[in-house]
Amino acid sequence: MTTAASTASAKPVALVTGAAAGLGLAIATELHAAGWRVLLTDRDGDAAASAAHALDAGGATAAGRALDVLAKADFEAALAALSAGWGTPAVLVNNAALTLTTPVMQISAEEFSRVTDVNLRGCFLGCQVIGAAMAAAGFGRIVNVASLAGQNGGTASGAHYAASKAGILALTKIFARALAGQGVTVNAVAPGPLDLPSVHAMVPADKLAQIVQTIPVQRLGDARFIARTVVLLAGDDAASVTGAAWDLNGGLFMR
């Protein structure tokens, strides 16, 4: 007899960083809808737990946990908790990011380090810790959230943000080569401007309208579309895709 508990235990496991809101929450939501058990992590553990509760109040297929991406020990603790409960994660989404819009000539050394540490070092630690566990298990899918800013050098989101996202694209290729022989793929998604509350809060309405006019498809990106691309990369149909950056920018950057 198949029970709800046994059905839940058969589902593969995903870990998403920065998942309490915005794009991270959209990714966690789409993975959950596609049949994954999802650990939503965020520096704000209460917000992550609340978001997970909204997906599954019983906690069988969604859970929330505090995780500071600057702390390797936090990744190790999350991995240990998953391994003891649901099992080794088959998917890692490195989404956590910090965006500051300080003009480039006014960025302090401390602020530069703060942004690049969260965005780039956090991605590195996630790939290293969770990627090693995936390699030992012989299977895994890592998806890193980069950005159009890291491809075209855009500074609207901050030069340090753009630099960190460019670094994520490089790390994606490096880890893809390192883990390919162990059954682990590593890819990146590179969104353009998204229709998210955080974007509307950061960019004045008149400037945002001007940005939309420069986008060939004439609209901001939809976080759900980005999330569904992540689901595709997490699935069997993308087994031969690794080291790739998926451009999801409405035509702002073509190659």
Residues annotated catalytic, as ranges: 161
HSE at residue 176, side-chain half, CA atoms within 13 A, is: 19
| Residue 236 identity | D
Residue 194 has what DSSP assignment? B
Asked if 187 and 241 count as a contact pair (C-beta separation under 8 A), the reply is yes
Asked if 42 and 20 count as a contact pair (C-beta separation under 8 A), the reply is yes
Distance CA 150, CA 148 (A): 5
Distance CA 86, CA 65 (A): 14
Alpha helices in the chain (DSSP H): 4-9, 22-33, 45-55, 72-85, 109-116, 122-137, 149-152, 159-179, 197-202, 205-214, 223-234
At 188, phi and psi to the nearest 5?
A: -130, 150
